[in-house]
Amino acid sequence: MTVKKPITPKPSWLKVRAPSGENYTRIKEMMSDLKLATVCQEARCPNIGECWSGGTATIMIMGEVCTRGCRFCNVKTGNPKGVLDPFEPEKVAYSVSQMSLEYIVITTVDRDDLPDQGAEHFSRTVTTLKKLAPNLIVEILAGDFRGDQNLVNQLTDAKPDVYAHNVETVERLTPKVRDPRAGYRQSLRVLEMVKERDATRYTKSSIMLGLGESDEEILQTLKDLRGVGCDVVTFGQYLQPTPRHLKVVDYVTPEKFQEWQKVAEGMGYLYVASGPLVRSSYRAGEFFMKGIIEKKKAAELNKELNNVF
């Protein structure tokens, strides 16, 4: 007789309230009516209640099927066979511009089935959105484009206010955690390319904890990210979305997350969000970045006015 191993219960600090509230309901209904996909729902983000109640969300473009098969991610994997809505950039831009938001995150599935991996489609979404909502702050969470600098440059030239790309985990665990086409060094290089193309773009990355990484490896990852000019980093607890995904090796305590926040802040990161339920698009970071970006825009406007007069 096979004896099933008992399931390790989640710690109390990982429990969240069921999503509710007027804003949450409004955004949920609007997403449904406009047929917009959100990574909040697809990836079963634990912060969906907090973020949507606060009036923010992460829109996912280019469909709901990803060509990559990362072992931590709950987004569907498959081959979209080149299917793409050519009018999606305009539809998404118009829809988001009607939502009375101040900060939006646009992300996407990987589209290795497309000749340009969706770079033109993604960049057009950003530029169209900025035309329709010039005061909206736009953060993008993009894939690695298999390290193609021309494609990274194309998206950088769309001028998102924040360009995020996640390393996800430490270098040793990358082959086990991420799709074989993804690479730790390749991800670092993507962030470096953005800065090389436009040093004024803010870059951002995220690290999951609880996959078996050591403190030394986390520290090295932080050093590597700063080495390519990464401005913002977030830490969050990995949670196994389904039985077929990677198991959680350990649950990191809130105190340990606080320690990593202090370490990263001491290394010169512009902003650090660190906690068990923090995700790469965590809204606390959005408010911080919003303040920084608005201050930067005001300084640029004053400079232009001084040049005129």
**In the prediction, which pLDDT does 106 show?**
94
Q: Checking DSSP bridges between strand 37-38 and strand 58-61, what pairing results, if any?
A: antiparallel
Measured between alpha carbons, how far is 148 from 75 in angstroms, rounded to an integer? 24
pLDDT tens, position by position, 183-221? 999 999 999 999 999 999 999 999 999 999 999 999 999
What is the dihedral angle through the alpha carbons of 88, 280, 67, 202, rounded to the nearest 10 degrees?
70
Residue 272 · residue 221 · CB < 8 Å: no
**In the prediction, which pLDDT does 296 show?**
75
From residue 297, give the alpha-carbon distance in Å to each of 50, 262, 291.
Answer: 28, 28, 10
Q: Which two tokens stand for residue 183?
A: 């690479």
Angle at 168 between CA 59 and CA 15, to 5 degrees: 70
For residue 246, how many other CB atoms are within 10 A of its CB? 20
Report the candidate in 285, 207, 284 with the shortest Cα–Cα distance to residue 252: 207
What does the pLDDT profile of the chain (309 residues) look like in tens digits? 454 544 556 787 676 555 555 555 656 665 666 566 555 555 555 555 555 545 566 889 999 899 999 999 988 999 999 999 999 999 999 988 887 777 888 999 999 999 999 999 999 999 999 999 998 889 999 999 999 999 999 999 999 999 999 999 999 999 999 999 999 999 999 999 999 999 999 999 999 999 999 999 999 999 999 999 999 999 999 999 899 999 999 999 999 999 999 999 999 999 898 999 887 665 545 656 677 777 777 777 777 777 766
Residues, the chain: 309
Enter the pTM of the model. Answer: 0.85
Measured between alpha carbons, how far is 264 from 205 in angstroms, rounded to an integer? 12
**In the prediction, which pLDDT does 152 show?**
98
